[in-house]
Structure 1
């Protein structure tokens, strides 16, 4: 597999929130290595990159002040992190996973890393407070009516 194609495959897979169900033991080992080998700063790099890519979507493009130069820098930093994780920090695990379970094991493993990075993002108290704000605007009686009476009623 070409390196550029593998990098694109990994990046697209990481953006996907769909869990990969065919993960095997080598993929699990690689996932554990990726998560344990990334620092909070590394996870921040991943989250910033995902934000920058999502901000390209026409529905949200106007809500971000990111410049093309900043986006390029974030892509360079994330590519360097992916390279370091696969070629150095988790090299043995990555080689075994691809050898025994195929290239799609990278998708599964980077999906787990992405989930870990997003969990770190959403566990931040400021983010949690922002998410909680949604509850202020929910129409609780209408939602309760949609589900009908519950056992506690």
Structure 2
């Protein structure tokens, strides 16, 4: 059972990058419930957990050092958040979504929550400025040339 929810959450978080979501009515209800029952602090906790998990990838692990204690604290907090949302806050919606639309409903619904949480992160002025940082190195002449009409 735990393995199923861990996989569902991981896939759901991965889905947050996807714009196309084919959810049924019960999955949509669960996604709305998850979003409605999370605070800004809950969403920050989710984003921090996503960051810590992504930092495990070999391509970025050398630029992000996370202690075992920090990772364990984040995992514990994520487990508590997941259980609270799926049982206390959105128990009926979780049951109905899984009952009528299958376990992928959890994946899609948590993907919706992940999208909302990431939107909050990305709208921070520091993050926005960070995304623009590379633009000072762009070769604007080359970009204009390739996008010119008749090209």
Q: What TM-score does the superposition give when structure 1 sets the normalisation length?
A: 0.89
Q: Does the CA contact (< 8 Å) of 1:34 and 1:85 recur in 2?
A: yes
Give the Å deviation of 1:58: 1.3
Match of 2:94 in 1: 94
**Pairing of 1:6-25 with structure 2 (within 5 A):** 6-16=5-15, 17-19=17-19, 21-25=21-25
Give the Å deviation of 1:19: 4.5
Render the CA deviation track for 1:105-138: whole Å, top value 9, x for unaligned.
Answer: 1111111101001000001111111112222222
Distance in structure 2 (CA, Å) of the matches to 1:46 and 1:90 = 17
Q: Does the CA contact (< 8 Å) of 1:31 and 1:110 recur in 2?
A: yes
User: What is the DSSP-based 3-state SS (H/G/I as helix, E as strand, rest coil) of the residue aligned with 1:5?
Assistant: helix
Q: What TM-score does the superposition give when structure 2 sets the normalisation length?
A: 0.90
2:103 counterpart of 1:103: yes
**Pairing of 1:104-119 with structure 2 (within 5 A):** 104-119=104-119
Distance in structure 2 (CA, Å) of the matches to 1:19 and 1:91 = 26
Distance in structure 1 (CA, Å) of the matches to 2:56 and 2:2 = 25
Structure 1 residues not aligned, in runs of 5+: none
Q: Does the CA contact (< 8 Å) of 2:8 and 2:103 recur in 1?
A: no
Give the Å deviation of 1:5: 1.7
**Pairing of 1:1-150 with structure 2 (within 5 A):** 2-16=1-15, 17-19=17-19, 21-149=21-149
Distance in structure 1 (CA, Å) of the matches to 2:105 and 2:29 = 10
Q: Does the CA contact (< 8 Å) of 1:27 and 1:109 recur in 2?
A: yes
Find runs of 4+ consecutive structure 1 residues off by over 4 angstroms: none
Give the Å deviation of 1:147: 2.3
User: What is the DSSP-based 3-state SS (H/G/I as helix, E as strand, rest coil) of the residue aligned with 1:23?
Assistant: coil
Q: CA RMSD in A?
A: 1.6
Q: Which moved more, 1:29-38 or 1:127-136?
A: 127-136
Q: Does the CA contact (< 8 Å) of 1:19 and 1:111 recur in 2?
A: no
Distance verdict in 2 for CA 1:93–1:66, change over 3 Å = same
Distance verdict in 2 for CA 1:99–1:20, change over 3 Å = farther
Aligned length: 149
